[in-house]
Structure 1
Amino acid sequence: MTEPVAVYGLGNMGFVQAERIARAFPTLVFDLSPERLAAAATAFGAKAIKSAADVAQCRFVVLCLPHPDASRAVLRELRPHLRSDAIVIETSTVNPDDVREFAGVLEGVGAELIDASILAGVSQMEAGTATLLLGGDEALIAAARPVLDAIAIRQKHFGALGAGAAAKVINNAVAHAVMVVVAEAGSMAMANDVEIDKLIGLLSDPEMGLHRPLTFRYAKRVLGDDYEGGMPLLAARKDSELAQTLAYRSGVPLFAIQACHSVYELGVAAGYADEDYAAIAKLWRDWGKPAAPSPKPS
């Protein structure tokens, strides 16, 4: 392909992404910072977008912007100038409702949109080890594959439009929550003379704290709707009480671990005390928002 690709947004991630695209395509770039535009011209020969009409020469437009409002404003400005076969690739971190709204902005002009959220830090993007979490029509994703491959070879298609964005937000929510839990665990360890390197080894063991709730209890018990045997929920609640007591006696403030204890109390109150403690997931089903699809009949 010799047609240029337009990239909107030259922040830390957007700049590196544009640089990777420029290795495969002529690249047009836009940013509010003249300094970033000049740096892109020097670093990888990108040409600055002077007006929205410049995108008429591009089939592919990549957004990497700091806020959904920025993506919305850019798309409204670009709408009259986009080609009828244009594909907008939204790589910004936004919610799925935003993605679907952005697609609505393009209705009537023929242009389409896919989401390709970036799961990585800047250094991973630089190294080519980033992952794109994709959502949208498979035919559009296939058409955009040369540009997507230029950004990152590792790609996962999660489903309909917005699914990639949702997966990114969920991944980050888990990572950020786990960071709070790990900080709390480290504080409790320090207050009780536990060697931190050994704590890290314990929690990172595939059979222990960080991994097993996902790879065994969720992936097997919850997805299989199988809560027989295992560690009873009542025992898990007891262990949670012990953790609260340990933190209290050690003078360690708890936030995430303390809040999670309430879920175990609710699970016991709901009648799941004797089932494996993964049965807390049944609470979300009781609330009409299941944590997993219904198991397929055997």
Structure 2
Amino acid sequence: MNISKVAVYGLGNMGYLVAERVAARFATKVSDLDRAQVRRACDSFKAEPIEGPQDVGDVDVVVLSLPSPAISLAILEQIAPVLPRHAVVLETSTVNPKDMHACKRLLDRFGLRIVDASVAAGVSQMKAGTATLLLGGPQPAIDDSRPVLDAIAEKQIYFGDTGAGAAAKVINNAVAHAVMVVVAEAGSLATAAGVSREKLVELLADKQMGLHRPLTHRYAERIMQGNYEGGMPLDAARKDSVLALELAQNLGVPLFAIQGSHTIYEIAAAAGYGRDDYAAIAKVWADWGKPAV
């Protein structure tokens, strides 16, 4: 598909940088409720303002970077009837698969296509050109919009059908946010116990002992392979978890994530997995009919 014009909806902290990167390669039209941001884009990188749906009748790709799924759907309801039938919509906002499916159903009525192109990065990474796009949707639509995707971020990971990229972004964020709580609790414990926070960071960053190992070893090498023999027994991990709770209690440090995480070790031990490697906590989800792999 020959791409000559791109429309970008949403000029927030991330959307503005997305528009700026797109405008470096394509004629770009922009829209945002903040008219100052629109003027800034027009002055800075020669974008053209979108005054109404009629102004996108000649664009080949639409990029959405909006604060909520409802706003994305509302925008598409306005512009879908006037978009060229070959146009592709790229949803870079953080949304759930159900939101992608709702947008797809709407666009299907007009013969239009949508790709989830979730941005897995912060503002600084987008500005530096090191962001990653988590993609989902039909491969032909991704291929047709590839020049715009490449303009936004050269690193891209394809996860599958419509909604898969969006789901990966939500899951990635959920892990990051949960780990943030755990790390904050760990830092508070370290301070109360007189442990150097600088050395704690070094310890947690160590690929053999820290935050990496539960993912690269216990999830990738054990849970995904169904290998729970040998290793550190779940009973031992449960004992260590009890020690951490006791330390926090003795130091008067409130715990939320770490305390909540302990529960699954109690459930797994009660289920008879105490001698398995402690990655066997994943068996509990399988017992509930929700396998961890």
Q: What's the CA shift for 1:2?
A: 5.8
Q: What's the CA shift for 1:4?
A: 1.0
Partner residue in 2 for 1:219? 220
Query: How do 1:160-179 residues align onto structure 2 when only pairs under 5 Å count?
Result: 160-179=161-180
Any conservation in 2 of the 1:16–1:125 contact (CA below 8 Å)? yes
Q: Deviations over 1:195-252 (max 9, x none)?
A: 1111111111001130100000000000110100111101111000000000000000
Structure 2 residue ranges without an equivalent (≥5): none
Partner residue in 1 for 2:62? 61
Letter of the 2:55 counterpart: D
Letter of the 2:184 counterpart: A
Q: Deviations over 1:81-123 (max 9, x none)?
A: 1111111000000011101111111122111101000011111
* Identical counterparts, % of pairs: 59
Secondary structure of 1:224's aligned partner: coil
TM-score, normalized by length of structure 1? 0.97
Secondary structure of 2:29's aligned partner: strand
Any conservation in 2 of the 1:83–1:110 contact (CA below 8 Å)? no
Query: Residues of 2 paired with 1:187 and 1:127: CA distance?
Result: 32
Any conservation in 2 of the 1:86–1:110 contact (CA below 8 Å)? no
Query: Residues of 1 paired with 2:25 and 2:205: CA distance?
Result: 39
Partner residue in 2 for 1:288? 289
Letter of the 2:284 counterpart: L
Secondary structure of 2:224's aligned partner: helix
Any conservation in 1 of the 2:133–2:153 contact (CA below 8 Å)? yes
Give aligned pairs, total. Answer: 292
Secondary structure of 1:116's aligned partner: strand
Letter of the 2:45 counterpart: F
Structure 1 runs (4+) greater than 2 angstroms displaced: none
Query: How do 1:71-86 residues align onto structure 2 when only pairs under 5 Å count?
Result: 71-86=72-87
Secondary structure of 1:57's aligned partner: coil
Any conservation in 2 of the 1:186–1:196 contact (CA below 8 Å)? yes
Partner residue in 2 for 1:229? 230
Any conservation in 1 of the 2:131–2:153 contact (CA below 8 Å)? yes
Query: Residues of 2 paired with 1:237 and 1:2: CA distance?
Result: 57
Query: Residues of 1 paired with 2:24 and 2:101: CA distance?
Result: 30
Letter of the 1:100 counterpart: H
Any conservation in 1 of the 2:3–2:60 contact (CA below 8 Å)? no
Query: Residues of 2 paired with 1:285 and 1:56: CA distance?
Result: 50
Query: How do 1:16-95 residues align onto structure 2 when only pairs under 5 Å count?
Result: 16-95=17-96
Query: How do 1:1-298 residues align onto structure 2 when only pairs under 5 Å count?
Result: 3-292=4-293
Query: Residues of 1 paired with 2:63 and 2:156: CA distance?
Result: 16
Q: Deviations over 1:151-202 (max 9, x none)?
A: 0101000111111110000000000000000011111111111111111111
Any conservation in 2 of the 1:2–1:26 contact (CA below 8 Å)? no
